[in-house]
């Protein structure tokens, strides 16, 4: 028992550390993309595409990686995945053309697929009653987005942006080796080979899976998108330099990653549905205030014109982003609590599908952010878009979970023996 417990925690620790490094590398263009944008004279849409390109492959690869994890085990898949990214990461420092950054970004994006490997790998080492906690701790590796905002600006200012991918390539190689030495393989965690890809993909016919994809496209896809976008947002909206902008952006990224472990514990204690509902509601309120653009009003009065300014200052904006980061950290864990509760027999496939949807949100949203800003010139349109998407999730959850639950309680109250006594 002692040996098994030691292996459990060793797997969790090594996997979480590896995921943190992978996520930091996945978010690399959030910082180095800014000097690259200036050098190549990119517009907002081109910057959005540059920042989001790694997210595309990291998303698309999640489903096959989840299936391979079920079939071959997480340790080998995780290790090979990390090694495959080392050379492309290094080569980014040598790129000079926009198309070169995009192509290399696609290969570097494989690091983002580590989530669907690690989440299934870690979950199977723990009993169902503690899987929410274990997956939450692993998911705290999302804090790699904040790590990049602390490390990359310092490297950019000291050595230039080209040093960042070289340092990250070395970090990925060391991380892969450490993971291999401190992780374990358990044959009982592997789905029998008789399960075909066609059988695994039957999960796509389940409407509940698609609903979870919608939830995750906000709490994870939105988190990835805003983590990529916020450093530049602080620079363009409030005029901060790169170092201060990255530090303030980390006020959203850091709690959005680290507190996922607490979200796992809360989800184990109170259940996936009520936790996710409150996450969506809090997010919707925060996004309402974040959406309002900086506005100057001229009010005609009997004593003359009165100027009034409406808009969030940098500190109020940061507080709202922090609150939303906390909410999304909890939400990322609660969505995967749904999966561990209802799909424990094929958690790799389901986590791959849901993770793919979340990752695609992280890819599409920055591109849409850039297009909206190019079209309107209003920075806060990025939050208007997120507000509308969150509203869709709230309505979907209300009609498919809350209304049926109320109806079921009503039927139970009218059942024989449960009616009110005269």
In this prediction, residue 411 carries a pLDDT of 59
Q: What is the mean pLDDT of residues 199-211?
A: 77
The tens digit of pLDDT for each residue in 215-228 reads 999 998 998 899 88
Cα–Cα distance between 197 and 399 in angstroms, integer? Answer: 32
Contact yes or no for 326/260 (Cβ under 8 A): no
- Residues above pLDDT 90, as percent of the chain: 37
**Is residue 310 in a domain?**
yes
In this prediction, residue 270 carries a pLDDT of 87
In this prediction, residue 56 carries a pLDDT of 87
Q: What is the mean pLDDT of residues 335-346?
A: 78
**Is residue 192 in a domain?**
no
pTM reported for the whole predicted model: 0.78
Provide the number of structural domains found in the chain: 1
In this prediction, residue 305 carries a pLDDT of 83
The tens digit of pLDDT for each residue in 10-53 reads 989 999 999 999 989 988 998 899 899 989 999 888 998 998 88
Look at residue 408 and tell me whether its pLDDT is greater than 80. Answer: no
Please return the burial class of 380, using the count of CB atoms within 10 Å of its CB with bins 0-12, 13-18 and 19+.
Answer: buried
Q: What is the mean pLDDT of residues 302-327?
A: 89
In this prediction, residue 194 carries a pLDDT of 45
Look at residue 159 and tell me whether its pLDDT is greater than 80. Answer: yes
**Is residue 194 in a domain?**
no
In this prediction, residue 412 carries a pLDDT of 55
Q: What is the mean pLDDT of residues 361-377?
A: 90
Look at residue 202 and tell me whether its pLDDT is greater than 80. Answer: no
In this prediction, residue 404 carries a pLDDT of 83
In this prediction, residue 279 carries a pLDDT of 94
**Is residue 123 in a domain?**
yes
**Is residue 107 in a domain?**
yes
In this prediction, residue 2 carries a pLDDT of 57
In this prediction, residue 372 carries a pLDDT of 93
In this prediction, residue 192 carries a pLDDT of 61
In this prediction, residue 388 carries a pLDDT of 94
Look at residue 346 and tell me whether its pLDDT is greater than 60. Answer: yes
Give the range of the structural domain holding residue 171, as residue numbers without chain letter. 2-185+199-409
Cα–Cα distance between 92 and 166 in angstroms, integer? Answer: 8
**Is residue 169 in a domain?**
yes
The tens digit of pLDDT for each residue in 225-260 reads 998 899 989 999 998 988 899 889 888 888 877 787
Q: Would you list the DSSP string of 176-211?
A: HHHHHHH----GGGSPPTT--HHHHGGGGG-HHHHH
Cα–Cα distance between 291 and 294 in angstroms, integer? Answer: 10
Length of the chain: 422
**Is residue 414 in a domain?**
no
Residue 291, φ and ψ in degrees, nearest 5? -75, -20
**Is residue 346 in a domain?**
yes
Q: What is the mean pLDDT of residues 325-338?
A: 88
What's the CATH number where 388 sits?
A: 1.20.1250.20
User: In the numeric block, which tokens belong to residue 148?
Assistant: 């990049």
Look at residue 322 and tell me whether its pLDDT is greater than 50. Answer: yes
In this prediction, residue 195 carries a pLDDT of 53
The tens digit of pLDDT for each residue in 93-143 reads 999 999 999 999 999 999 988 888 888 888 888 887 777 778 778 877 878
Strand, helix or coil at 77? helix
């Amino acid at each position: 028992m002692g040996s098994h417990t030691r292996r459990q925690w060793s797997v969790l620790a090594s996997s979480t550390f590896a995921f943190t490094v992978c996520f930091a590398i996945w978010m690399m263009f959030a910082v180095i993309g800014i000097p690259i944008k200036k050098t190549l004279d990119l517009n907002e849409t081109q910057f959005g595409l540059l920042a989001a390109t790694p997210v595309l492959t990291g998303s698309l690869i999640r489903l096959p990686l989840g299936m391979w994890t079920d079939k071959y085990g997480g340790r080998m898949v995780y290790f090979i995945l990390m090694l495959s990214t080392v050379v492309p990461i290094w080569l980014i420092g040598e790129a000079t053309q926009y198309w070169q950054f995009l192509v290399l970004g696609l290969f570097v994006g494989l690091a983002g697929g580590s989530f669907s490997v690690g989440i299934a790998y870690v979950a199977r080492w723990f009993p169902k009653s503690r899987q929410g906690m274990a997956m939450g701790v692993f998911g705290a590796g999302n804090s790699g987005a904040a790590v990049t905002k602390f490390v990359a600006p310092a490297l950019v200012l000291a050595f230039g942006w080209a040093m960042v991918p070289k340092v990250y390539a070395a970090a990925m190689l060391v991380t892969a080796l450490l993971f291999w030495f401190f992780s374990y393989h358990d044959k009982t965690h592997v789905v029998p080979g008789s399960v075909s890809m066609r059988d695994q993909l039957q999960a796509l016919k389940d409407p509940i899976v698609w609903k979870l994809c919608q939830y995750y496209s906000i709490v994870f896809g939105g988190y990835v998108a805003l983590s990529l976008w916020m450093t530049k947002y602080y620079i363009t909206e409030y005029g901060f330099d790169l170092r201060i902008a990255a530090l303030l952006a980390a006020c959203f990224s850091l709690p959005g990653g680290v507190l996922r472990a607490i979200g796992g514990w809360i989800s184990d204690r109170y259940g996936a549905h009520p936790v996710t509902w409150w996450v969506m509601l809090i997010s919707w309120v925060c996004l309402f205030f974040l959406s309002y653009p900086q506005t100057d009003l001229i009010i005609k009065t009997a004593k003359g014109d009165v100027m009034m300014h409406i808009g969030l200052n940098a500190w109020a904006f940061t507080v709202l982003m922090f609150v939303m980061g906390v909410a999304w950290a909890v939400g990322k864990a609660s969505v995967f609590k749904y999966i561990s509760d209802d799909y424990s027999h094929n958690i790799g496939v389901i986590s791959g599908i849901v993770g793919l949807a979340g990752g695609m949100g992280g890819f599409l949203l920055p591109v849409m952010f850039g297009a909206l800003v190019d079209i309107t010139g209003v920075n806060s349109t990025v939050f208007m878009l997120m507000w509308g998407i969150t509203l869709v999730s709230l309505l979907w959850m209300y009609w498919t979970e809350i209304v049926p639950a109320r109806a079921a309680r009503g039927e139970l109250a009218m059942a024989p023996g449960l009616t009110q006594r005269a």
